[in-house]
């Protein structure tokens, strides 16, 4: 099988070597809370793929983060494996990048504890994701939901990441990560590199197709609101046909036209066309034509992902081989930062 190539993570094995070559380190994660949406793809995963040749990249499935919302255990196991197969199908290549599952690497939870002890109640209370998710799941406002950003900071700082490619909704968590890293470095001496967010110009916030003031989300209850990257072409086209727009006729990017702005952003991210080119292309044509074109372009972009996903998800032995190898490499790299941290804060060495 074409994807059964040797699994090499050498690029990652010797981080000192990596640093000497001055290749920047990229790290990002995604929760296994469902099939990825077009928002996850345009806002994050598509860029992860592009960055693999230029940088040393590490990508992981944030399964520990997903426990902050109650999950069905059997479903979560399945979703984590599917999410892993989806990463491969989206073009994340284990020969180029380190790919792993967060809970397989114990240093994440370990550093999270130390960083939780450096996080202030006030700053965690100000996180908009915490406020949104605790309002949405009012019956389960657990401590993990509150300290979620400390785990995310641990994920990033363990690998001394330079850049973190995420959608705009994660920007505040990145700022928190930088604050915590700065605070730790000031108290204990230089330990962590300060990471920068990498937020795409187009598509940092893909909106829901049913309520364009909201972000498109994996866990939206309305299936018409999100395009899932495994949706069949006819489903994609129909969802775009039903997308909420406005009562005008002109395809143009303007304040107040949230629905059309969102469709133009999606079309631009997928085709590479500028907003001006899109306006020209659809001048004098109605929304119907435009929605169909967006649907067709998205269906075409996602076609290879759907096909590759089928192949990968049927090969469980290969998936296991990749995530085992990834966990070993990630454990070896992150152990270095963890050992430094333990020493600096005064934990007795074994
Ligand atoms: P959930 O619905 O479970 O909260 P989610 O769809 O928001 O999940 P995450 O796993 O939290 O997805 O996010 C993975 C990555 O995708 C993050 O970098 C996030 O910023 C990005 N992302 C999520 N939704 C969008 C969106 N609508 N537009 C752009 N980027 C997004
Ligand atoms: N919180 C992120 C997922 C995530 C992440 C990370 C992203 C967990 N750890 C580290 C970047 C870096 C989200 O998308 N909700």
CA–CA separation, 186 and 183 (whole Å):
5
Phi, psi of 26 (to 5 degrees): -110, 140
Q: Which atom of ligand 1 is nearest to the CA of 69?
A: 3
Q: Could you tell me if the CB of 164 is within 6 A of ligand 2? A: yes
What is the predicted pLDDT for the residue at 22? 76
Residue-level pLDDT at 203: 85
- Ligand 2, atom 13, residue with closest C-alpha: 30
Per-residue confidence in pLDDT tens, the chain, 350 aa: 445 544 556 666 555 555 546 789 999 999 999 999 999 999 999 999 999 999 999 999 999 999 999 999 999 999 999 999 999 999 999 999 999 999 999 999 999 999 999 999 999 999 999 999 999 999 999 999 999 999 999 999 999 999 999 999 999 999 999 999 999 999 999 999 999 999 988 889 999 999 999 999 988 889 999 999 999 999 999 999 999 999 999 999 999 999 999 999 999 999 999 999 999 999 999 999 999 999 999 999 999 999 999 999 999 999 999 999 999 999 999 999 999 999 999 999 99
> 40 CB less than 6 Å from ligand 2?
no
State residue 44's pLDDT score: 93
Buried residues in 57-82 as b, exposed as e (16+ CB within 10 A): bbbbbbbbbbbbbebeeeebeebbbb
Of the candidates 232, 230, 233, 294, the residue with the CA atom closest to the CA atom of residue 259: 294
Q: Check if the beta carbon of residue 122 is closer than 8 Å to that of residue 73.
A: no
Q: Measure the CA–CA gap between 311 and 304, rounded to whole angstroms.
A: 11
Closest atom of ligand 2 to CA, residue 129: 15
Q: Which two tokens stand for residue 233?
A: 């072409």
The preferred substitution site among 169, 173, 214, 261 for testing ligand 1, maximizing ligand atoms within 8 Å of CB, is 169
Question: In angstroms, rounded to a whole number, what is the distance separating the alpha carbons of residues 297 and 256?
Answer: 25
Q: b/e string for 122-157 if b means 16 or more Cβ within 10 A?
A: eebeebebbeebbeeeeeeeeeebbbbbbbbbbbbb
* Dist. CA 297–CA 274, nearest whole Å: 15
Q: Residue 202 has what pLDDT?
A: 81
Structure tokens of 315? 């090969």
Q: Return phi, psi of residue 201, to 5°.
A: -70, -45
CB-ligand 1 contact for 132 (6 Å cutoff): no
214 lines ligand 1 (CB under 6 A): no
Q: Which residue's entry shows tokens 């059997």?
A: 74
Beta-ladder partners of 27: 58
Q: What is the pLDDT of residue 6?
A: 45
- What per-residue confidence (pLDDT) applies to 1? 46
Supply the DSSP string of 250-306, one letter for each residue: -----TT-HHHHHHHHHHHHHH---HHHHHHHTTT--HHHHHHHHHHHHHHHHHHHH
């Amino acid at each position: 099988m074409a994807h059964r190539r040797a699994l090499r993570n050498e690029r990652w094995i010797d981080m000192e070597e990596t640093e000497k070559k001055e290749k920047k380190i990229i790290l990002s994660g995604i929760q296994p809370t469902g099939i990825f949406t077009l928002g996850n793809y345009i806002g994050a995963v598509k860029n992860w793929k592009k960055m693999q040749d230029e940088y040393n990249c590490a990508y992981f499935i944030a399964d520990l983060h997903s426990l902050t919302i109650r999950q069905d255990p059997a479903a979560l196991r399945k979703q984590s494996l599917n999410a892993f197969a989806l990463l491969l199908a989206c073009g994340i290549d284990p020969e180029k990048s380190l790919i792993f599952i967060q809970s397989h690497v114990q240093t994440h939870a370990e550093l999270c504890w130390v960083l939780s002890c450096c996080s202030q109640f006030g700053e965690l209370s100000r996180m908009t994701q915490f406020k949104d998710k605790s309002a949405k799941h009012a019956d389960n406002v657990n401590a993990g939901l509150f300290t979620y950003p400390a785990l995310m900071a641990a994920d990033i700082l363990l690998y001394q990441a330079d850049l973190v490619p995420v959608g705009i909704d994660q920007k505040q968590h990145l700022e928190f990560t930088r604050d915590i890293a700065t605070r730790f470095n000031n108290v204990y001496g230089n330990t962590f590199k300060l990471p920068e967010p990498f937020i795409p110009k187009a598509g940092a916030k893909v909106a829901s197709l049913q309520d364009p003031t909201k972000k498109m989300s994996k866990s939206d209850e309305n299936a018409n609101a999100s395009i899932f990257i495994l949706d069949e072409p006819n489903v994609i086209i129909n969802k775009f046909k039903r997308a909420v727009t406005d009562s005008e006729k002109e395809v143009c990017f303007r304040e107040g036209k949230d629905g059309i702005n969102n469709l133009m952003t999606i079309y631009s991210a997928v085709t590479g066309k500028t907003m001006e080119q899109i306006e020209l292309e659809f001048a004098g044509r109605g929304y119907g034509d435009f929605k169909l074109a967006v649907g067709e372009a998205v269906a075409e972009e996602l076609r290879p992902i759907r096909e590759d996903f089928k192949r990968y998800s049927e090969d469980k032995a290969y998936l296991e081989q990749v995530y085992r190898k990834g966990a070993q490499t990630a454990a070896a790299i992150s152990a270095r930062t963890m050992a430094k941290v333990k020493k600096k804060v005064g934990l007795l060495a074994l």
